[in-house]
Each structure stands twice: as structure tokens, then as C-alpha cells.
Chains A and B, each alone.
Chain A
């Protein structure tokens, strides 16, 4: 089975984010980036399917120069080759245009299965994989917590709200969006890191992908990013750790009456 995995690089979780000068996004110069968490699970799932069923894992990202790091990490973990969609024309694309570009690359790679994360930790549109399926004309399913390979089809376990699940059967080719927790992702080994250096990393711009301006034009735009207003009902407890502990114990006993 040939599997493509879409990886997005997002600002690291525990970094401090600051707004840029015109408040349209965060300052990217002083944050470090990492692979979007559900995408790490998607990659792991692809590697496991390959180990069981044979085949190839192709990783794919759309992003600036820095995004190549995500691909290198994936190659070090065991992906076979990588595609970096990189072009000045790819800046600030919306989910639709991002999926357009990814779809063009995926058509060229011709996998049986595409795995994406269920949503990106930064913009969180939770759409790219589903739009991609529509553009490819393939079946899809979302928020997947288990995959079993069958003959030209898959069984996939969808997570539903409130602890409910559902198995679905889905024919290949297909797109699945992967939920965090589906597996235990591996770490790259030293051997893997060394092997990654010789694996193919292809760079494609919009011309190579046969895209035109129409395909990439925005359908939505972010005009302003701001810190959400605080409703301010919280009572802050301050002081040394000991003082805070005493105050909280007192509040819990005498105000909230829960101890």
C-alpha cells in the first residue's frame, strides 16, 4: 500500500506567542516550530500500515523553508520520500487553496491512501483532509482512532462525541483524518536520522504542480488577530507557594465549602 501523509508545521505548544506588528498573525521570528500533533500520529499509523502491508510512505508539506525540517523528521522516523510544496505563491493560503496544492502533489504521487491530522493546532479549521478528498474524488472519513487493512478497502474506527465510536468500511483510494491517541508514536533513531540524509526530498512550486492563480486565490481571509477579552470573574490568589496554599485551603473550606 502506498500511503501519503500530510504534515503541517505549527508553532511549538509551550512557546510564548506574540502578535505581529499589524495584528494579522503571530510573530514567527521568535517561535520554534514542530509537527502538528495529530499529524505525528498520522505518520506513525502510515509507518505501521507499511510495516504490515508493505508499500511506501510519502510525506508531504506545504510551507516555507523551515517546513523542510518536518519532512526530515518524518524521513528519520521511516518515511521513504518527501515532497515539499514551496513557492512564494503559497504564502497565506486558505484551507481550500492549501488542499488544492496538496491535491495536485498527491495526484502525481498516486497513493492508495492519504492520512492527514484531524486539525491543525494553530488555525484549527479541521478541513484540509476533507476538502482534499473532495478534490481527489475519493471517499473519506474523519477523526479516526484505528485502522485495519483489508483487500482494496479499510476498516476504520471513527470517534464520535461523548465516548461513542463507529466502525466504517471505506474503499481505497481514500483520505482519513487521524485523531491524536490512535497509537504510540515512535522516536527517530540515530540510524534513522543518518538514513534520512540520503532519502529523496523533492521540492515543487506552483508551476510544477500545474496550478494557476485562480486555483490559489483566497476564499476567506484573516483580517485581525487579537487576545480574547477576559470576562474577569476569576479571583487570583497570589503570594509565595505556601501563602497561596494557605489562602486556597481557606477559600475551599470557608467560601466554597468543599472541604
Chain B
């Protein structure tokens, strides 16, 4: 039986990641909509508990590609192993979550098969035989409907949060588990990965902050940070930032919020001149009350805002500091 849809199940030391469940949720929906079978694949060593966990969900088969060469992730190892599986099973659609790992090897895998990967998708739509994928362009300011041209297999990755991990359906009976041997010559692996590590302990822990004033590129220059600092002081808030502010060295890295920085969930998140790129939003969307001040009404940050203010932050923040001090003492 042709595999139909193949879902790549990312895991961390044998535990499926949230990204794996989200990819599986996408796979289940697509399998139902397109009338295709569903298979999940995991790579590594000693995968049994992981396989059992995956097999309890609604799918047809779970495949383990087990090899000592695959114990530690390398792009060459993962590309070769999944490529062999695709050649053997001829799936129509291969689904990933758009994680750092998928970014690292999925384009290479698709290119080896001579096919396209439509990456970072938000959703899909079926129109007769056409599969239309919706993905953000211009940093989320627009969306593009994108389609494959030519023969399958088709490769797709979905952005974090596009499908909910808790929407994964349980199966009526455990799915079949297949262990597939992969032969990888050791010399196909050219990159040598070291241990993963964190930089020296962070001095600032924003994850516990009750209130955060976060600044983005709209602040223009480091000389204007004082304004944000005064606002933070008035609110009793910590100062946070979008990535470019830390890249520029205007604030230290440990104040960066987002996918490559800290994840925060304060009661109040006040975003000054932040556009709201997905990599920023994933780090702060758990905040209870979000205030966004941005001069562009179309900025994606307003999608997650409780209160939205369209305007120049340099005109709004000075009176805001005064009003907050007044309100607090009243």
C-alpha cells in the first residue's frame, strides 16, 4: 500500500515534541480530506516508547528508522534516511513542522527528490484536485496561496501553532509499527555536531515578570530606550525587546523575547514599535493583556493585542507615562 501521507515526527530524546503532535494533527486532517493513508516516521535509536505513543493515535502505520548513525541529528543522516524511505514507499505528501531541524534538512531532502517544499504554511484548502497552501509572505503582512506544479511527492511544512497538538485524534486500535533498516555509510556524514548548550546563565529572567514593556525597531535608536525605561518604571515592568534590538546590541541578549529568546506570559505586555513577526509572537502570545503601539494599522502585532493604538510611539509614550503615574496614585 502506498503510504499516502508521511509525517515526520520530531522528538527530543525519545519524547515527541509539540511540533511532532502538530505535524501529526495536520497529517490526520489532510489524510481525512484527501482520502489518503497516514504514516508517521521517527528517526534515532531505542525508539520503542516513542513508537508506542505515536501508534495510539489515529494513523495507519508508524515507521522507525533506527541506526546508531541517526542517534544524533545530522542533516546528511536524516536526509539520506528519509530519502530512502520515500523511494521505498512513494508517499504523495510529506509533512513537517517548520522547526529549526526541518529548516535544516527538509529543503535538502525535497531537492534530492527534485521536488518543491512549500514551507512555513499556516493552513490549506482543497479545491477539487487542487491542494492550495496558505503561507505568510512579507513577514506576515500578506498571505500567499501557493500550489505545487508537476508530479508528487509534495513536501509541506507548517508553522508552529497552525494545528493544535491537542487536536490529535486517538486511534481505535494501535497502529502497525514497522522497524525499517537503513544503511548509511558512515562517510556520508560530513558535519560533526557537538553538544547542545546554553550561553552563560541569563542575568534576566523575564519568564516570571508580571509586566513587560517590549521595544522593537520602531524605537529607532539606543538613545530612545530611556523613554521605554521610564514607561517600564512607571508600570513596575521589566524591559524586553524584539530580536533586532538585541542583535544591534542596544539591549542585552537576555532581554530578547521570541522563538530564539525567552518565552514570557506576563499579565501586561506592552509592545512599542514591534511589528509582530511570528518568531516574536510565539514568545509572548501567552500574555494576558497585550497593548500594542504601532504606526502601521496593518502590523500583525495587533492580531494578538487587547488594546491597539495606531500612532507614533514618541507622541504617545510621554503622556502615557504621566497618566499611568496619575492613575496609580489616584
- Chain A residues near B (Cβ < 8 Å): 11, 13, 17, 19, 26, 94-96, 99, 118, 121-127, 130-131, 133-135, 139-143, 159-171, 180-181, 184, 217-228, 230-231, 233-238, 241-242, 244-246, 248-253, 256, 258-259
Contact = CB atoms under 8 A, between A and B. Distances in A.
Contacts of B305: 234
Q: Which 7 A-B pairs have the closest CB atoms?
A: A181-B247, A219-B116, A127-B107, A249-B323, A245-B319, A130-B107, A220-B116
B262 to A, nearest CB: 7
**Interface of A, helix, strand, loop or mixed by DSSP:** mixed
B308 A236 contact: yes
A36 to B, nearest CB: 12
B147 interface: yes
A227 B310 CA distance: 18
B147 A235 contact: no
B118 interface: yes
Interface residues of B, number: 92
B116 A256 contact: no
Nearest to A166: B196
Contact of B268 (A159, A231, A252): A252
Interface of B: 75-76, 79, 99-100, 103-105, 107-108, 110-112, 114-120, 132, 135-150, 190-199, 202, 210-211, 217, 235-236, 243-244, 246-249, 259-263, 267-268, 288-289, 291-292, 298, 300, 302-303, 305-311, 315-316, 318-320, 322-324, 326-328
A258 B211 contact: yes
B309 A244 contact: yes
A230 B246 CA distance: 30
B31 to A, nearest CB: 22
20 contacts: A17-B141, A94-B116, A96-B110, A121-B139, A124-B119, A125-B117, A139-B191, A159-B260, A162-B259, A223-B132, A223-B147, A225-B144, A225-B145, A227-B142, A234-B307, A236-B310, A237-B307, A253-B328, A258-B235, A258-B289
A245 B292 CA distance: 13
Question: Which interface residue of B190, B235, B262 has the most chain A CB atoms within 10 A?
Answer: B190
Given A220-B116, A242-B319, 11 more contacts: A125-B117, A140-B108, A159-B100, A163-B260, A168-B191, A169-B192, A222-B144, A230-B302, A234-B292, A235-B306, A245-B323
Contact of A142 (B104, B140, B195): B104
